[in-house]
Amino acid sequence: MTDTRQNRETQSREVFQRQAQWAPASLLPEIKKTPGWAYRWVRTSMAGQADATNVSSKMREGWEPVSLSDHPELHLYIDQNTRFKDAIEVGGLMLCKTPEEFVDQRAEYYNNQTRSQTEAVDNSFMKENDSRMPLFKEKKSSTSFGRK
């Protein structure tokens, strides 16, 4: 008997493709990130009023505006009436960058601040501890099965 069946690989089947679903557009465009740099959108205005205080504080923290020449793909998205020439500003937010080391150092600084404040609160609270009526009593429970 001769096998007249064809291999599955030689058969063509229609590929089932799910129809694309509509989703609301992102408010900010996606950027091509450069390795070694962290990106952030910095508020330049709110409710139509310029927010120079926020911009200057972020600049002092080490954030610098991203040049439009570095990301020409965003040319269509920028505000034409921006106060920051050659910067990428969309809807009152300006794209800024800083070295990743600065972001790591900032996170470590605030982690140390949080740790220090937590220890201070714990020490202040435990200062009121009295052995006759402890604030915290270590409770240990155990579960055993069968005979001991």
Q: Tokens 């291999």, residue?
A: 7
**Beta-carbon neighbour count of residue 65 at 10 Å?**
20
> 117 lies in a domain?
no
What's the confidence (pLDDT) of residue 121?
85
Range of the domain at 55: 38-99
More reliable by pLDDT, 124 or 53: 53
Distance of alpha carbon 116 from its chain centroid, rounded?
25
> 75 lies in a domain?
yes
Residue 121 to residue 129: CA distance in whole angstroms: 13
pLDDT in tens, 29-61: 888 888 999 999 999 988 888 899 999 999 999
Average pLDDT over residues 124-148: 72
**The residue type at 102:** F
DSSP letters, 13-68, are -PPP-PPPPP-PPPSS----PPTTEEEEEEE-EETTEE-HHHHHHHHHTT-EEPBT
> 71 lies in a domain?
yes
> 6 lies in a domain?
no
The upper half-sphere exposure of residue 112, i.e. CA atoms within 13 Å in the direction of its Cβ, equals 6
> 52 lies in a domain?
yes
Nearest partner of 102 among 61, 68, 143, 71, judged by Cα: 61
pLDDT in tens, 76-120: 767 777 788 888 888 889 999 999 999 999 999 999 999 999 888
Written as six digits, the tokens of 24 are 């609301």
> 31 lies in a domain?
no
Task: Work out how many domains the chain is built from and give that number.
Answer: 1
> 58 lies in a domain?
yes
> 131 lies in a domain?
no
